[in-house]
Chain A
Amino acid sequence: MISETLKRIPEYLLAILIIITLNFALPRMMPGDPFLQISGAGGEVGDAYTAEQREYFMAYYGLDRPAGEQFITYLGELSRGDLGFSYYYKESVSNMILRRLPWTLLLVSAATAISLGAGMALGSFAAWRRGRRSERLTYLMMVVFGEIPAFLVGLFLLVLLAAGLGLFPLAGAMSHYTQFDSYGAQLADIMHHAALPVLTLSLARTGSLFLLVRNSLGTILTRDYMRTARAKGLTERRIRWRHAMRNALLPLITRTAMQMGAMVGGAVLVENVFNYPGLGQLMYDAVFVRDYPLLQGIFLVLAITVLAANLLADLLYKRLDPRIAAEVKKQSTGPGIKPVGTGGRNEDL
């Protein structure tokens, strides 16, 4: 059980290494060099640097050394948390990211929690009312909402609820230039600003979680232990939540973790829809002014966060599922039966 998780760690390390290498290689694969870029902004070739000056700067930034050596230096800088210096904003990239990160984390974690809760509630609602009209309506709604990309849903909500009805602010994460009477009022203000982005992200993510819960509950309901639970005279609520939902929870965790990449991608877009000052909006700004160090720093932070979430889910999954431990034991003595519906990532084709 532990070795199974340990076996996956090299994979994560490899993924991180690929990301870092990509990050290192991309600017160096571009035609020209940074000094050409700076001196010839906007396509006009000016010679702001003489040949000696260029050589001096190349040596100063270490760009004349072999690529392998540069890579080692780059790794060293990364390990010290140094993500470079933003051309445009003239500030350390790490500082800029740290300032924006909490907003993105707020959106992503709130949306994850809400979509998980909504997916479970609606999924079990649907599993218990299979075939009825209310269930089919929910199903259709969820499928449609799950398929529309988050930023389109966000634009719709923004136009309807914020611009049209004026219920929510159009942009930002909090009201500026205002004094709050209490922390509670400030918290309410922040929640008011975050409401639409979080709603958008949750709507876009609930669909697939709903389908997963509905389908796994559907198979669980036909199992023998469900009949046993009923025969024992347990209450409906207990059967639903303790016996059925507990088993549906496991694939849900894997799915949530695997969706983390899509969630972060969605957050990048949704932040730009709502002008929410998180990393996604900073990424947009970086693209707009072609501030490559900033862009790469954000990319690195997002990618590593997603990988960490996946690793966490892997660990959690093995903790939560006693059958995996049992299966490993069985396999050492003889062929074990693979538990249905808990195949984790390999099952999800």
Chain B
Amino acid sequence: MQEALLKLKNYLLRIFILAGLLWSRLSPTGRAALLILMLLVLTALFAPLLAWHPPDVSSGPALTPPGDGHLMGTDDLGVDLWAMIVFGARVSIIVGLGTALLAGLGGSIAGIASAYKGGWMDRVIMRLVDIMIVLPDLPVMIVLAAFFGPSLSNIIIVLALFSWSRPARLIRAQTLSLKEQPYVKMAAHYGGGFFYLLFRHFLPELLPLLLVNMIRLAGMAIIAEASLAFLGLGDPTSRSWGLIINHAVNFSGIYFTPFWQWWLLYPWLFLTLLVTSLALLGRDLERVADPRLSS
């Protein structure tokens, strides 16, 4: 018990130090992006506490401007916009996280297998990667989402199917050079199997790079989800920001009314903030993790 506690304390301390180290290496833009991201994640976590109106049923007159109990006004059905924004953050974060985990894991397994096994497996996987990269992803995603129905889990699966190729390629390149390292060769020589090497040597070494790449993946997934929702292919039961924009834009004559000043503006603002800060943080972390990449 005592020992476990001590171990936990040690781990926490290590994480804390690492976080501090990371923070000190980030550029001011990266720091700002990280702060905004953390705020948005907290918003999503504490959504029920932050919103005092329900996000799915009417809670006042339709299309009221911001103020007067409705922080960001209401939409055409009288649903509170702030509540929708707060709960919509959850959708974006679930989609981003889910896709990044699925695609990052699948991509790195494919990349490591491709590099380590070589031969026909390498050829098949790399051909697949090449094809995935040239395919125009949005049209394919539109077709798939239209056929399979736009539920949140379907969207995550489709997005993951289209984003594993980048991590796979990155991880493959890294594994290829790692494979030639003397200590890895030695371990293999002493009889270390593929999975031993994978967990003992490859993954720990590749993890930082993978995590950085996963931030990118999350950003792209969030953009893709918002794009699909904007085209009316979002999960209709989840109020994602893209879907709010879709409803607002399809409200006829919205540009001739003042309604866009809250109904369109706020979801746009939050989506842009989230996407931009994710991208800027990803860029900065890439620089920190691999100084070679940012010449």
Contacts and interface: CB of A to CB of B under 8 A. Distances in A.
Is chain B a partner of chain A in the same complex?
Answer: yes
Interface of A: 11-12, 14-15, 18-19, 22-23, 26-27, 29-30, 140, 143-144, 147-149, 151-152, 155-156, 158-159, 162-163, 170, 215, 218-219, 258, 260-262, 264-266, 268-269, 272-273, 283-284, 287-288, 290, 292, 295-296, 298-299, 302-303, 306-307, 310, 345, 349
Interface in B259-274: 260, 264, 268, 271-272
| Cβ-closest 6 pairs across A and B | A265-B138, A147-B279, A261-B136, A163-B255, A306-B136, A15-B131
Given A152-B226, A273-B249, 17 more contacts: A15-B134, A22-B143, A27-B147, A144-B276, A151-B227, A155-B245, A159-B264, A162-B255, A261-B137, A269-B227, A283-B231, A295-B146, A299-B142, A302-B136, A307-B134, A345-B133, A349-B169
B139 A264 contact: yes
B276 A272 contact: no
Contacts of A144: 276, 280
Contacts of A143: 279-280, 283
Contacts of A155: 245, 249, 264, 268
Interface in B116-154: 127, 130-131, 133-140, 142-144, 146-147
B147 A30 contact: yes
Nearest to B170: A349
Contact of A269 (B137, B140, B231): B231
Contacts of B140: 22, 299, 303
A287 B146 contact: yes
Given A152-B271, A156-B268, A310 B134 contact: yes
B230 A272 contact: yes
A268 B146 CA distance: 15
A275 to B, nearest CB: 10
B232 interface: yes
A18 B264 CA distance: 39
B10 interface: no
A219 B295 CA distance: 8
B144 to A, nearest CB: 8
A260 B232 CA distance: 24
Contacts of A292: 146-147
B268 A345 contact: no
B208 to A, nearest CB: 15
B230 A18 contact: no
Interface of B: 29, 127, 130-131, 133-140, 142-144, 146-147, 166, 169-170, 173, 219, 223, 226-227, 230-233, 245, 249, 255-256, 260, 264, 268, 271-272, 275-276, 279-280, 283, 295
A45 B84 CA distance: 35
11 contacts: A14-B127, A23-B143, A143-B283, A147-B279, A163-B256, A258-B133, A264-B138, A265-B137, A265-B138, A265-B227, A268-B138
Contacts of B147: 26-27, 29-30, 292
Contacts of A163: 255-256, 260
A261 B165 CA distance: 15
Contact of A159 (B166, B219, B260): B260
Contact of B139 (A11, A218, A299): A299
A108 to B, nearest CB: 11
Contacts of B173: 349
A149 B134 contact: no
Nearest to A261: B136
B37 to A, nearest CB: 14
- The winner among A23, A26, A170, A261 for most chain B CB atoms within 10 A is A261
B278 to A, nearest CB: 8
Contacts of A162: 255
A140 B279 CA distance: 12
A302 to B, nearest CB: 5
A268 B145 CA distance: 15
Contacts of B245: 155
A261 B135 contact: yes
B138 A269 contact: yes
Nearest to A214: B295
B135 A15 contact: yes
A306 B127 contact: no
Contact of B143 (A18, A159, A296, A310): A296
B137 to A, nearest CB: 6
A12 B131 CA distance: 8
B269 to A, nearest CB: 10
B275 A14 contact: no
A172 to B, nearest CB: 14
Nearest to A272: B231
B139 A268 contact: yes
A156 B249 CA distance: 12
B279 A303 contact: no
A268 B142 contact: yes
Contact of A18 (B131, B133, B166, B169): B131
Contacts of A148: 272, 275-276
A140 to B, nearest CB: 7
Contact of A299 (B143, B231, B271): B143
A144 B280 CA distance: 8
Contacts of A261: 134-138
A59 B271 CA distance: 50
Nearest to A215: B295
B244 to A, nearest CB: 12
Contacts of A307: 134
B181 to A, nearest CB: 19
Contacts of A265: 136-139, 227
Nearest to A149: B223
A286 B138 CA distance: 15
